[in-house]
Amino acid sequence: NRRAPSSDVSKFHEVLTSSKRIMALCGAGLSAASGLGTFRGAGGMWRNHRATSLATPEAFEKDPGLVWLFYSYRRHKALQAKPNAGHYALTELSKKLPDFITLTQNVDGLSQRAEHPREQLKLLHGSVFDIKCFSCDRIELNNYDDPFHPLLAIESEEDDRLVPAENTVRATAAYMDPNVNTTTINPDDLPHCPKCKTGLLRPGVVWFGEALPEDTLGEIDEWIKQDKIDLILVIGTTATVWPAAGYVEEAKRKGARVAVINMDGLDGELGAASNLRNGDFLFQGDAAKILPEILK
């Protein structure tokens, strides 16, 4: 029976200013004000598909053209978008505090474009601007071609608009039915790896069931081990995807207070993520508005 988390900015400020080691765990909500969709809830749909059902190696194996079209759209939107005041507030904090580290689940490159110091920014789920081979170990960093390949050009943003949830459920079910042929582009026509020649190229993001980048996880562990942690900011994420979500508990074990910055309150899905229910602070609203206010 813990008391409800505080939303008192001056109390938070006392904690912030006395903190030496701070970790931020960011999710799609950080980029929502820049116009990019989230994964869960109303924004988590592309055409007739749930974003999470396309973010799997199985979906890519079944229909690489469809998954590529989804990521081509996301690359295009991310390149059109601008970092928002929330991204810049984190950049400012990292410049002020050398022992501040941002772990982001976002693949949109907006924190990098807000000039977040690179050594203090850990990309948990990769980047849509890295291109990997689905078969061999080739990886190309920072490819901003839009479209990545002529067949992946966005014909009309209208085609890619969000669809009502009920249509999504029906279409995703049909797509997952092995008897329904939905192949979008002939895989032979999609770009192949210049190294092994046989593998299909794919976006350099981490899909469900895939391991997170080992070197990045190692760097984070190293940072965590160094000392106690004073504060963790949990920004615009449902904190339901592992291992990312586990960093909240890990920071708590190292003594951290927890401050949640999210559009949602803790009554709904967000509160169901047990590691956020007992937070010390909750600032409900748009991260792009709240972060500059509470971090200044």
Beta carbon nearer to ligand BJW, 21 or 27: 27
- Strand 231-235 to 22-26 pairing: parallel
218 lies in the site for ligand BJW, by CB under 6 A: no
Supply the minimum distance, in Å, between the C-beta of residue 241 and ligand BJW: 4
Given 49, 125, 149, 192, which residue is catalytic?
125
Q: What is the distance between the alpha carbons of residues 64 and 274, in angstroms, rounded to a whole number?
A: 35
Number of neighbours of residue 129 by Cβ within 10 angstroms: 23
Supply the minimum distance, in Å, between the C-beta of residue 23 and ligand BJW: 16
- Strand 45-46 to 257-262 pairing: unpaired
Q: Which of 29, 64, 83, 279 binds ligand BJW (CB under 6 A)?
A: 29
Supply the minimum distance, in Å, between the C-beta of residue 41 and ligand BJW: 6
Instruction: Provide the mask over 48-87, with x wherever binding to ligand BJW is found by CB under 6 A and - wherever it is not.
Output: ----x--x--------------------------------
Backbone angles phi, psi at 262, to 5 degrees: -160, 150
Residue 168 is encoded by which pair of tokens? Answer: 């999504």
Pick the stretch among 35-43, 112-120, 148-156, 169-177 that binds ligand BJW (CB under 6 A): 35-43
Q: Which of 3, 188, 211, 215 binds ligand BJW (CB under 6 A)?
A: 211
Q: Which of 27, 64, 204, 279 binds ligand BJW (CB under 6 A)?
A: 27
Size of interface with ligand BJW, in residues (CB under 6 A): 34
- Catalytic annotation present for 76: no
35 lies in the site for ligand BJW, by CB under 6 A: no
Number of neighbours of residue 161 by Cβ within 10 angstroms: 10
User: Per 3-state DSSP, what percentage of the chain is helix, strand, and coil (rounded to 5)?
Assistant: 40, 15, 40
144 lies in the site for ligand BJW, by CB under 6 A: no
244 in Cβ contact with 25 (< 8 Å): yes
Distances (CA, A) of 196 to 130, 139, 201, 288: 17, 12, 10, 43
Four-point Cα dihedral 195, 200, 203, 206, nearest 10: -100
Instruction: Provide the mask over 245-264, with x wherever binding to ligand BJW is found by CB under 6 A and - wherever it is not.
Output: -----------------xxx
Q: What is the distance between the alpha carbons of residues 130 and 287, in angstroms, rounded to a whole number?
A: 26
Supply the minimum distance, in Å, between the C-beta of residue 275 and ligand BJW: 12
294 lies in the site for ligand BJW, by CB under 6 A: no
216 in Cβ contact with 210 (< 8 Å): no
Number of neighbours of residue 273 by Cβ within 10 angstroms: 18
Q: Is 193 annotated as a binding residue?
A: yes
Backbone angles phi, psi at 234, to 5 degrees: -110, 105
105 lies in the site for ligand BJW, by CB under 6 A: yes
Residue 90 is encoded by which pair of tokens? Answer: 């984190």
Give contact residues for ligand BJW (rule: CB under 6 A): 27-29, 32-33, 38-40, 44, 52, 55, 105, 107, 125, 205-211, 236-238, 240-243, 262-264, 270, 286-287
Binding residues for Zn(2+): 133, 136, 193, 196
Query: Where in the sequence numbering do the catalytic residues fall?
Result: 125
